[in-house]
Structures are given as C-alpha cells and as structure tokens.
Structure 1
C-alpha cells in the first residue's frame, strides 16, 4: 500500500477519534502530519475529511434529527432550538470566513502554537471540570437564546488550532450553567453546521488546486474518520456523564508536552 494512503488512513482514524472529544482534532492531525511529513494540497485534507465525522454524527442522530425536521413547522420549542443552533453557529461562520487565509497559512503552519494551546486548553478543562458549577440547564433544547450566542462566541476560540472546537463549546456551556452531558451533546449539534460550513467553504477555496490525484487520499481519510467517529459518538455521552472531562484534560497536557519536546529535539 502506498505510504501516503497509509498516512491518510492513520490521520483519518485520528480525526474520527478526536473530533468530538475536547482535545482538538485539527491540532492532533496537524502535529501528526508534521512529524509524518504528510503534505496535503492547500491543507485541504485536514478539513475535508471532517465530512466523515459529520456523516457519522448524522447517522447516529438520524432519528432525532428526523423528529426535529418533522416537528419544525408546528412546534415552537423545536423552532426555538433550531434558531439557537443558528445563533450559536453564526459567530464562527463570520470569523472563519474573514480569517480563512490567516488561519490556513499561518496558524495551521505553527506546530509550537498548537502544542501550547493543547497544554493551556488541558489546564482550563481540568480546572472547569473540577469547579463546583451549578447546572441550570439539562436539555439542549431549553437554553436561553443568549446562552446559545455565548456558547457560539466560545466556539470562535477554536479558530486557533490546538484549542478544540468541542472543547471550547463544552467549557463555554459548562460556564453558562449547562450540565456535563448536555454540554457534550450540544457540541455535537453545533458541530453539524459548523463543520459542514467549514467543509463547503474550504472545498470552494481550493477548487482550483485540488486534482483527481488528491481524491484517493481524501477518500481514505474520510472513510476512516467516519468509522471511528461513529464509535466515539455512541459512547462519549455516557462516559462524560459518569467520569467528566478530566481524562481529556490530561490527554491534552501529555500530547502538548510530548509535542513540544519532539519539536525542540527534532524540529
């Protein structure tokens, strides 16, 4: 098997494993790609394989999404929830479009920054997980509209690779009074428009430089990400309900520290 395909397979598995847990999938993929010497056209691979993770969560939540779709025309609670998702999505959509070039050409190319953000995010996650926060919201469909917006603003922090989209939304949700399980579940729902938008925008921006030779690599990463993400989504909510987020905080600290040591040692 071609070495690049093997690398794409490994990176796809890593994407699926880390996309929905608060450890920064993009940070992990960029670091792994750096040390593997993996290069993708326009850094598109790292974004486009997220479609596998998007389809994974759509498949797991298909029944609930279908109910939301059928209830939407007549149920005010459902209408309010969909509006809340859109409100939470808009800040990252606007900032991501405005800062796309800087994010892809500068932040994506700075491994030391990724490691530092992994460490900082790990410390924040450990601290917030241990704080005696009083949960006021237990159902993702019942947040105040202002809370949806604040969580969306927290998601903007994930424009810096290594921060973690899910980590930013989960921490923001918990600080806004959302319980741990609902925080993770809302990050799933917010991921759908956010990741789909990033996928579509990146595909559009790279439409002139991607070629047929890129398709097998992207397809391999996509399939691997889909399979692994399905497994993670099925079990994550029960895990965080019982154990919280400490494991992921320590995970970030270890990966960020090892990454910095490797960068200083090997470049």
Structure 2
C-alpha cells in the first residue's frame, strides 16, 4: 500500500483519538484534517467512522476493571444490573434519532454555517455552564445514576447528530447541568460512547462495504492503532485534568475553531458541505 496513504491514516488516527473524548468535536477536526490531507473521498468518510472503534478500545482498557466487575456481577447484583440498564437507556435515543434523521442531517446540516455556528455556540454554552451558579450535585458517581438520569443524558447526546456539536461535550456538560458531578458526567460519557461509537462504526462498514476491499485492511488497521494509542493517552489525561480544572479552555478553543471553519470555507480551502 502507498506509504503516503498510510501516513495520512496515521495522522487521521491521531486526530480522531485526541479529539473524540474532548468537548471539541472530533467530526469537525476530521473534516478539516481530511481536507488538508486530500483524504476526504467516500472511502475516507467510512474510514473516519470506523477508526472511532480504536478510540473506544482505549476507553475499554482504561475502564476495564469497572467493565469486568459489572459483567461478573450482572446475574446477581442489582447495582450492576442498574448500571447496565443505564448505559442501554442512554444509548437508545441516539439509535432511534440517528436512524430516523441521520440521512437528512447529512444532506442538510453539513454546511459551513451550521458547523461554525455549532462550534461557537457550543463554546458559549460551556462558558455559561461553567460560570453560572453551580447546580446542586445529586449524582456523585455513575453508580448513583437512575434510568431517568441516563435517558436525559442520552437525549443530550442526540445533539451531537448536528455536526460540530461534540458528543462528549453534549453528554458531559448536559450531565453536569442535570446534577451529575463533573466526574460522574465524564465517566458516563465514556461508558455511553462504547455502544454508540462501536455501533456507528459497524453500521458504517456494513452499509458502505461495497466501497471497501481486502487491500484497504492495512489502512484501517493503521488508523485504528493510532486512534487507540492517542485516545488512551487523551482519556487518562482528561480524567486527571477534570479533578482540578474546568472546561473553559475548551470553550475558547471551540469558539476559535468555529472562526477557522468559517475562514477556511470562505477561502475555499475546505468543503465542509462535502462531509
């Protein structure tokens, strides 16, 4: 396989891993990186979704002890059963709305104005959420969540169907506004990402299987590996970061990136409507 193409896969994998779990929208960054690299055809779009699985494997590794304990205790523990139910309940809204409106969203909302606006608006929402009077914390850990808490966060995750919103941003900030602690909201966002992103990756590969061939395997493996490594580093860093910092720096980054989206679109450098 072409060495240059593999190098592009490395870069895209790193971009995916570093941005997937931060509240800055991995989709927006992959669109920009793909355009700058000339890696933005139909196969590249499938690649972008598929390599999310690599990032999810990193989360599974970080949370392996919790996952293993839950699976082992599932037959007999009410707490483990409630936790599994909460992940399922939070996952459902994105499945239903994604299948119902995904095609329409891709056709009508992948525009420079929408992407730039959601980046900038999301940044101001984070600033507002961080600077308003703190919401009384009702839920200290993910084990304290109720199915209703999970469903509400699942609805917040659906906002990420709009390009530029950020799945992690919607779930973490949404969870905090609903009374989850910063740690609980972040942890649940990661657990919710597991079925959501694995499902999206498998569905995309199946749906677009006609575009792929055996010769694409090295490309996808490279992307998955680098997505996994960079996401593992990023997730471990983020869990340390939230213990003593707010998300304000990410808010200003989103606002600046929204301006980049608009500038690159007006200059004709990136086709944001071609995602």
**TM above 0.5:** yes
CA RMSD of aligned residues (A): 1.6
Distance change (3 Å), C-alpha of 1:151 and 1:142: same
Q: Helix, strand or coil: the match of 1:137? A: coil
Return 5+ residue gaps in structure 2 as ranges.
270-275
Query: How far does residue 111 in structure 1 lie from its aligned partner after superposition?
Result: 4.0
Does the Cα contact within 8 Å between 2:31 and 2:40 map onto a contact in 1? Answer: no
For residues 266 and 220 of structure 1, the distance between their equivalents in structure 2, rounded to whole angstroms, comes to 30
**For the Cα contact (< 8 Å) 1:31–1:111, is it kept in 2?**
no
Match in the other structure for 2:273? none
Q: CA deviation at 1:259?
A: 2.2
Establish whether residue 75 from structure 1 lines up as the match of residue 77 from structure 2.
yes
Q: Give, in whole Å, the separation in 1 of the partners of 2:40 and 2:212.
A: 13
Q: Distance in 1 between matches of 2:8 and 2:112?
A: 18
CA contact (8 A) 2:141 2:183 kept: no
Alignment match, 1:33: 34
Following superposition of structure 1 onto structure 2, how do residues 37-52 of structure 1 map, counting pairs within 5 Å?
37-42=38-43, 43-52=45-54
Summarize the alignment of residues 174-185 of structure 1 with structure 2, pairs less than 5 Å apart.
174-185=176-187
- How high is the TM-score relative to the length of structure 1? 0.94
Q: Give the superposition deviation at 1:104.
A: 4.3
Which SS does the other structure have where 2:242 is aligned?
Answer: helix
Structure 1 gap ranges (5+): none
Look up the match of 1:142: 144
Under a length normalisation based on structure 2, what TM-score does the superposition of the two structures give? 0.91
2:22 partner SS: coil
Shift in alpha-carbon separation, 1:205–1:105, aligned structure 2, 3 A:
farther
Q: What SS does the corresponding residue of 2:211 show, helix, strand or coil?
A: coil
Whether the aligned pair in 2 keeps the contact of 1:15 and 1:225 (CA below 8 Å) is yes
- Structure 1 residue ranges (4+ consecutive) displaced by more than 6 angstroms after TM superposition: none
Q: For this pair of structures, how many residues does the alignment match?
A: 266
Inter-partner Cα distance in structure 2 for 1:30 and 1:103: 16
Partner of 2:3: 2
Task: Give the distance between the partners of 2:28 and 2:105, measured in 1 at CA.
Answer: 12
Provide the C-alpha distance between the structure 2 equivalents of 1:68 and 1:218, rounded to a whole number of angstroms.
31
Residue pairs, 1:1-267, within 5 angstroms? 2-42=3-43, 43-107=45-109, 109-132=110-133, 133-267=135-269
How far apart are residue 49 of structure 1 and its match?
Answer: 0.5
